[in-house]
Amino acid sequence: MPRSIHGGRHELGQNFLTHRPTLGRITMIVRRTSGSILELGAGDGALTRSLAELGRPLTAIDIDEHRVRRLSGRLPSVRVEHADATRHPLDADVVVGNIPFHLTTPILRRMLSTGRWRDAVLLTQWEVARKRAGVGGGTLMTAQSAPWFEFSLEGRVPAWGFSPQPSVDGGLLSITRRGSPLVPIAERRAYEGFVRSMFTARGATLDAVVASAARVSRAQARQALTAAGASDRRLPRDLGPEQWSGLWRWFARSA
């Protein structure tokens, strides 16, 4: 079984962050937030030590019980727990984590649907971070979450900045819960269904997609796009958060 230079098996899918500029960048972003911190996948504590210096309540979890014991001894001021990042309650104000690349999507989906956290700083695969931040066009997951969360791409991390070295670069993604949602939370499930229908509908132009997804005429679709400030967009991936919410409001009122 392969072992990293940090010791311990790599079977848990952990690529430890060793890139000091990124460790500093994450800490700087977290410093701009407030409240308690939850670190997912603490590993050997390279980031945990920096976060502990912020002097805020900090819980660090890891699925490797041996690392948990070692880190508990090294950082007595930190609450270190043996836990699974895909199941642990997201009960802190800020969530930080070097996410195992193969678990990025399930962890992100869970984070965007549960917990009371306000800010998150996540290290994921570069392409995942780009897509979630809407670089090059939005994705279904981002569009479904955009009325309640803001996504920002904070930087790229070279593959050699991890140990063991993965085959792809990492990307630093920050997520902030909106203080004023663009769509009422009570409408979230219906809105998510609307967005899914838009991404799966057929059509070479956006008005054709809207007409197919919402089962309205092309003229009504163009009217909705104009009202949402999206008449110049070509496809669903080109829509921004305000345009998605504007389209939803138009159809919700017309229903």
pLDDT of residue 232: 85
- According to the model, what pLDDT value does residue 13 have? 66
Q: What is the pLDDT of residue 5?
A: 35
As a whole number, mean pLDDT of residues 46-74 equals 97
| In the predicted structure, residue 2 carries a pLDDT above the cut 90 | no
Q: What average pLDDT does the chain have? A: 93
- Nearest in space to 36 (alpha carbons), one of 96, 86, 82, 88: 96
Residue 3: band (very low, low, confident or very high) from pLDDT cuts 50, 70, 90:
very low
Tens digit of pLDDT for each residue in 73-116?
Answer: 999 999 999 999 999 999 999 999 999 999 999 999 999 999 89
* pLDDT at residue 4 tops 70: no
Q: Are strands 58-62 and 119-125 parallel, antiparallel or unpaired?
A: unpaired
**164 upstream amide cis, omega within 30 of 0:** yes
Q: What is the pLDDT of residues 125-182, one digit of tens each?
A: 999 999 999 998 889 999 999 999 999 999 999 999 999 999 999 999 999 999 999 9
Q: What is the pLDDT of residues 221-235, one digit of tens each?
A: 999 999 999 988 889
Residue 219 pLDDT greater than 70, yes or no: yes
Q: In this model, does residue 9 exceed pLDDT 90? A: no
pLDDT for res 1? 31
Could you tell me if 77 and 106 are in contact, meaning their C-beta atoms sit under 8 angstroms apart? Answer: no
Burial tier of 195 (Cβ tally within 10 Å: 0-12, 13-18, 19+): buried
pLDDT score at 7:
40
User: Which secondary structure element, helix H or strand E, spans residue 58, and what is its range?
Assistant: strand 58-62
The reported pLDDT for the residue numbered 50 is 97
101: burial class by Cβ within 10 Å (0-12, 13-18, 19+)?
buried
pLDDT of res. 137: 87
In this prediction, residue 112 carries a pLDDT of 95
* C-beta separation of 50 from 24 below 8 A: yes
The share of the chain scoring above pLDDT 90, in percent, equals 88
Rounded mean pLDDT of 3-31? 76
Six token digits for residue 240: 């921004």
Region 183-200 average pLDDT:
96
Residue keyed to tokens 């642990």? 88
Which one has a higher pLDDT value, 177 or 3? 177
